[in-house]
Structure 1
Amino acid sequence: MARKMLQFTRLDPCQPAKRPAAERRGDFGEISRAFEPERAADQASRCEQCGIPFCQIRCPLGNNIPDWLMLSATGRMEEAYQMAASTNSFPEICGRICPQDRLCEGHCVLEQSRHGGVTIGAIEKHITETAFAEGWVEPVVPPRELAASVGIVGGGPGGLAAAEALRRIGYQVTVYDRHDRMGGLLIYGIPGFKLEKSVVERRTKLLAQGGVTLVAGTEIGRDLSFADLRERHDAVLIATGVYRARGLDCEGAKLAGIHAALDYLIRSNRADLGDTGLDPALDAKGKNVVVIGGGDTAMDCVRTAIRQGARSVKCLYRRDRANMPGSQREVAHAEEEGVEFVWMAAPEMVLGETKVTAVRAHRMHLGMPDSSGRRSPQVIEGSGFDLPADMVISALGFEPEDVPALFGEPRLETTRWGTLTVDDRLMTSLDGVFAAGDIVRGASLVVWAIKDGRDAAAAIDSHIKAKPRDKTKDKVKTKPKAAQ
């Protein structure tokens, strides 16, 4: 049934129903139930169809949000999917894991006017899941095959988005990843309760069916030299992300029982995928767990520990709730599931002889703003207290690995932060070698990696087309009937 828009005057905002906290604590399935079609259409009809769509402006991908909300509300679901997919390589993923409360929904005019923002993320997920169910999502079929090839290092969101965009033009694309599965942090860093692994595997299968060659378990610089990689391809894209964890900087930081967040999450996700022979030290079952940090990775860790059956789970963060970098929605989910937040507190030292037994913390207060504009946390003298802990997880962010050393290519220039230096075309210091995603901008959001991957694909296309080539090597390919 087609609906009129601007229904925010009579309809309140509504998210899909969540599974009860007691139920979802016991598994790694996504916490939200499917949006009922009628309710999703009702929510889409709340859109004000603004003359200046701040939701679209605040979306890194510039998604045509008001357009596909209108199409969804009026029952034109296939068109809604095509509109969503025109600017986003993986709308089914962004609909699940984007921090919409900080991006599109948080800047919806209705949110600012206190009517409550449109539930954009849930509708995006509903549109894409409908498209998959109806068979509207098909492998990429380029209009013609090109002889030129592109090698992509990194099978995460940036690399896969670039692969999809380049393959759509007709390039021969090969993606190399050091892990045994494609997806990068989508597979190994983000827990299933936010993004079930079948969703990522479904998309990588489509890429393979569309002609993208996926080479897992291959590390550049170890299994294949960077020089050989460049020799194989007309252009190379580095989209490795950032994986090196920032460690604790306090006394006792080397005790057994202290783990980096990503090591912990990778182990948990491998268990969720059915892998065996995993390190039991990274299982929180029966343990008192303290997670240090306030970002989305910290939220993933505390909620994972709950599902593993931890005795207690506490999140230690040096600022207050309003000033934490993580999604407020994720904090609310964690509290529902039994996580205790210890705000305005920071670790002073980790206690224990050989293995951690407690975290000694001190209370903080917020002082004057620093260079970033955020108020600086300062220690309150004499405010120390201890938190019992059998397991401490450090979720303090990520830094780039030394890519030039890993690849054996010292001519790759880096910034003082260790990220790769690129020009306005996203090309590195080496001709024909491009970089995109976190390895350029530092640890960031999946949606930014997707945007960077798509931008890099356009830059690579321009670069290759500007080079002299034998056009007779290109051949026209007739589309299969199913794709016509």
Structure 2
Amino acid sequence: MPQKMLKFVDVPRGMPEKRAAEARRGDFDEIYREYAAAKAEEQSSRCSQCGVPYCQTHCPLHNNIPDWLKLTAEGRLEEAYAVSQATNTFPEICGRICPQDRLCEGNCVIEQSGHGTVTIGAVEKYITDTAWEEGWVKPAAPRVERPESVGIIGAGPGGLAAADMLRRRGFQVTVYDRYDRAGGLMIYGIPGFKLEKDVVMRRNKLLEDGGVTFELGKDIGVDIAFQELREKHDAILIATGVYKSRDLGGPGAGLPGILKALDYLTASNKTGFGDTVAEFESGELNANGKKVVVIGGGDTAMDCVRTAIRQGASSVKCLYRRDRANMPGSQREVANAEEEGVEFVWLSAPKGFVGDDRANGVRVAKMRLGAPDVTGRQTPEEIEGADYTEPADIIIKALGFDPEDLPKLWDVEGLDVTRWGTIKTDHRTHETALDGVFAAGDIVRGASLVVWAIRDGREAADAIAAKLDARASVVAAE
């Protein structure tokens, strides 16, 4: 077979076609087209097949990226899919929403040499979308059914990844979630233009077809007691994520018209499903025709500004206290937002809010970057006397998320938490201080990426299986 790889010198980087900004402003469809087979093979052939693949090293799942790129370049897509899904429960989701510019693609060797990174995320998406079309994606079919049951609290990426891994080993798995649809932030937090919802829903159905049971609309501590779950199941995995929005003080902080990012995004996504959301219908959570100001510089802020554009906002501005180079969100997302009409106001921090019965503006302090802090990032410093008021009809706080107080909400003793409110676990096993109770994902590591939650969920599943295997061995010996 002729050499298919190392073509990065002759073949330029080529992303899938991106829909025109004016067209995509009017809907919530994904903005990138699918690769054609020839284009996917061409772009995969640019991989240098390095001896030390930094793309794989910097992927939280350590996906075997060079191998599935080579297989794609050779047209061996079913094998490429098998390699891809061996380490990743949701490769088509990671291909869409992972910040590849900060992870695999950002550390690609040919990117560092100036040739432009391999389009890893787009190829990953193409491989798995093709696998679905061709019927290569199969539900779990364990060789042996196990009697032990595992209860998983939280139907986000960590919980679903664990459910898949445990079910494939034959364990009886029940997933509990407070929402009416499984998927967590993949369903109600991330907008459709980054992750169309049928992509998540078909994964949920695959899990059901493989024997995973879902108990949705069940709020632990309200509808079901935590202790009841412990008595019902042989092991418990807590994978609730973190949903408590970080607040912002200052004068006028309690005025109507100041929204939490998750409330805003959830209303938009529910409306996209065809649900009736009273706050959206009333205009409270609807940006149509309004001046919108979003406070924050992470991926959630990018989701909010781009959602507001699609809802028909008259203007959308994003305030961030550092400059573009120091923002935590994906630079690719910033570029997409700018194309769609979002204005970024760098080195700007809110000092308070103005308005009488309702907020109608943000009092903004202009900032400059001073000396680096302990993390190495320059610390924002206020420029005295440079305050101004930014008019707004809707103000959205996208400042990140903190964990809820689960021991209090669930009325459980012995579930230790850190000073940040995250659950304490043995980092080797993901087990908490309570015997047989494990935890994984954001509720342990703090607000993070979907790909990290998937890794944690898979690791926790391995640890749960090992514990239940050990118990079974003791019983058999007796």
- When normalised by structure 1's length, the TM-score is 0.96
Corresponding position: 1:399 with 2:402: yes
- Once the two structures are overlaid, the 10-residue window that deviates more, 361-370 or 59-68, is 361-370
The residue aligned with 1:482 is none
In the alignment of these two chains, the number of paired residues is 472
Q: Distance in 2 between matches of 1:8 and 1:469?
A: 53
Q: Deviations over 1:259-292 (max 9, x none)?
A: 0100100000000111014313000111100000
The residue aligned with 1:476 is none
8 A contact 2:148–2:233 mirrored in 1: yes
1:27 deviation in Å?
A: 0.5
Corresponding position: 1:62 with 2:62: yes
Corresponding letter in the other structure for 1:439: I
Q: Distance in 1 between matches of 2:349 and 2:413?
A: 38
8 A contact 1:2–1:73 mirrored in 2: no
The residue aligned with 2:411 is 408
8 A contact 1:412–1:428 mirrored in 2: yes
Quick one: percent identity of the two aligned structures?
63
The residue aligned with 1:340 is 343
Corresponding letter in the other structure for 1:102: R
1:463 deviation in Å?
A: 0.8
Q: Distance in 2 between matches of 1:3 and 1:338?
A: 44
Task: Select which of 363, 366, 377 maps to 1:363.
Answer: 366
Q: Deviations over 1:315-369 (max 9, x none)?
A: 0000000000000000000000000000011011111011011111011011111
8 A contact 1:361–1:385 mirrored in 2: yes
Q: Distance in 1 between matches of 2:216 and 2:61?
A: 28
Unaligned runs of 5+ in 2: none
Q: Deviations over 1:364-387 (max 9, x none)?
A: 011111122211000000111121
Corresponding position: 1:306 with 2:309: yes
Q: Distance in 1 between matches of 2:103 and 2:455?
A: 14
SS at match of 1:9: coil
The residue aligned with 1:233 is 233
Distance of aligned partners of 1:136 and 1:468 in 2 relative to their CA distance in 1, 3 Å threshold: closer
8 A contact 1:366–1:376 mirrored in 2: yes
The residue aligned with 1:294 is 297
SS at match of 1:265: helix
1:121 deviation in Å?
A: 0.1
Corresponding position: 1:381 with 2:384: yes
8 A contact 1:2–1:74 mirrored in 2: no
Corresponding position: 1:372 with 2:378: no
Q: Distance in 2 between matches of 1:313 and 1:468?
A: 58
SS at match of 2:116: coil
8 A contact 1:3–1:42 mirrored in 2: no
SS at match of 1:7: coil
The residue aligned with 1:149 is 149
The residue aligned with 1:475 is none
8 A contact 1:258–1:394 mirrored in 2: yes
The residue aligned with 2:16 is 16
8 A contact 2:270–2:277 mirrored in 1: no
Q: Deviations over 1:53-76 (max 9, x none)?
A: 000000000000000000000000
Corresponding position: 1:350 with 2:353: yes
Task: Select which of 425, 429, 453 maps to 1:425.
Answer: 429
Distance of aligned partners of 1:145 and 1:2 in 2 relative to their CA distance in 1, 3 Å threshold: farther
Q: Distance in 1 between matches of 2:229 and 2:220?
A: 8
Q: Distance in 1 between matches of 2:97 and 2:129?
A: 15
1:469 deviation in Å?
A: 6.0
Q: Distance in 1 between matches of 2:435 and 2:74?
A: 49
Distance of aligned partners of 1:248 and 1:55 in 2 relative to their CA distance in 1, 3 Å threshold: same
The residue aligned with 1:325 is 328
Map 1:435-454 to 2 at 5 A. 435-454=439-458
Q: Distance in 1 between matches of 2:389 and 2:218?
A: 44
Map 1:156-175 to 2 at 5 A. 156-175=156-175
Unaligned runs of 5+ in 1: 473-484
Corresponding letter in the other structure for 2:304: C
Q: Deviations over 1:215-267 (max 9, x none)?
A: 10111111111111001111000000000000112211111100010010000
8 A contact 2:323–2:346 mirrored in 1: yes
Q: Deviations over 1:38-57 (max 9, x none)?
A: 11110000000000000000
Corresponding letter in the other structure for 2:456: D
SS at match of 2:278: coil
1:410 deviation in Å?
A: 2.5
Q: Deviations over 1:448-475 (max 9, x none)?
A: 0000000000000111111146989xxx
Distance of aligned partners of 1:221 and 1:469 in 2 relative to their CA distance in 1, 3 Å threshold: farther
**Structure 1 segments (4+ residues) deviating >3 Å:** 468-472
Q: Distance in 2 between matches of 1:364 and 1:410?
A: 45
The residue aligned with 1:248 is 248
Q: Distance in 2 between matches of 1:406 and 1:92?
A: 35
1:175 deviation in Å?
A: 0.3
SS at match of 2:8: helix
1:3 deviation in Å?
A: 6.1
8 A contact 2:238–2:438 mirrored in 1: yes
Q: Deviations over 1:413-446 (max 9, x none)?
A: 1000000000121111100000000000000000
1:307 deviation in Å?
A: 0.3
Q: Distance in 2 between matches of 1:283 and 1:189?
A: 15
8 A contact 1:271–1:278 mirrored in 2: no
8 A contact 2:267–2:277 mirrored in 1: no
RMSD: 1.2
8 A contact 1:3–1:74 mirrored in 2: no
Corresponding letter in the other structure for 1:341: F
SS at match of 1:126: helix
Q: Distance in 2 between matches of 1:82 and 1:18?
A: 28
Distance of aligned partners of 1:151 and 1:377 in 2 relative to their CA distance in 1, 3 Å threshold: same
Q: Distance in 2 between matches of 1:82 and 1:221?
A: 40
Q: Distance in 1 between matches of 2:302 and 2:21?
A: 15
Corresponding letter in the other structure for 1:299: M
1:190 deviation in Å?
A: 0.2
Corresponding letter in the other structure for 2:316: V
8 A contact 2:367–2:380 mirrored in 1: yes
- When normalised by structure 2's length, the TM-score is 0.97
8 A contact 2:365–2:388 mirrored in 1: yes
Q: Distance in 2 between matches of 1:193 and 1:354?
A: 34
The residue aligned with 1:123 is 123
